[in-house]
Amino acid sequence: MPDLTNLPDSVEIGLQIALVAGAALISFLVLRAAVGISVRHLIERRTAESGGGVLPRAELERRVNTIARLAVRVAATVIVVIAMLMTLDLFGIDIGPAVAGLGVVGIAVGLGAQTLVRDWLAGIFVVLENQYSSGDIVRIADVEGVVEDFSLRRTTLRDADGTIHTVPNGLVTVASNLRHATREDSSVASDSAVASDSAEAQLTDPARTPPA
């Protein structure tokens, strides 16, 4: 930091706090932009590798925002904590006990939030690997239905009876996406119908009937 020793203590501390706040804000803005670009590139690459083709713009934006929001929140929390510790240090407060306390709290929260972290990680892989998305017909945890909503924590399905099922992503061990099967069945049925119509036309059209 610049040499502010010739200024009154209150002004010096105020300027140093402003510098810390400015650095934290710039770090957050840069990190948010970098996260958005990185997540978008990663999703596009993983989707292409999985054979999903090019995602529609609206679907791509939804997937990017889903993961980017979580990453930005985590980054913002870390930046705020670091800025607060630096501010306490400027006031001459020993931050050693605070750092140790944060470590203990972090361990306790981590142990208590294992299920939530598991759901988030599973949701991230669903998005990155393009396993399914809103509007797909899937079978998850013995429930078959249309994906009404999806977040990093849970998947919401609507079955044929209209019942809404909420499944935590961490419980998804096997997810059967019936979207591709439906498209293939429709293609086969369409080809069969065209072939049948062609054969019927040949039988009923005298001009096409071969002489006996």
Cα 94 to the center of its chain, rounded Å: 39
E-state strands within 25-178: 137-140, 143-150, 154-158, 164-168, 175-177
What integer pLDDT is reported at residue 25 of this predicted model? Answer: 92
22 band by pLDDT with thresholds 50, 70 and 90: very high
- Give the number of other CB atoms < 10 A from CB of residue 145: 21
Show the beta-strand stretches assigned E in 116-206. 137-140, 143-150, 154-158, 164-168, 175-177
| Residue 30 confidence (pLDDT) | 92
* pLDDT higher than threshold 60 for residue 129: yes
CA dist 9 and 12 (Å) reads 5
Mean pLDDT of 29-48: 83
For 55, the 3-state DSSP assignment is coil
Q: Are 66 and 152 in contact (CB under 8 A)?
A: yes
DSSP class of 7: S
Residue 207 confidence (pLDDT) above 70: no
pLDDT in tens, 59-108: 777 778 778 887 888 888 889 988 888 888 888 888 777 777 777 777 77
Domains of the chain as residue ranges with CATH: 9-112 (1.10.287), 137-206 (2.30.30.60)
Mean pLDDT, the chain, rounded, equals: 75
Residue type at 22 in one-letter notation? G
What tens digit of pLDDT does each residue of 155-178 get? 899 998 889 999 898 888 777 777
**pLDDT value at position 193?**
45
The answer to whether 132 and 126 have CB atoms below 8 angstroms apart is yes
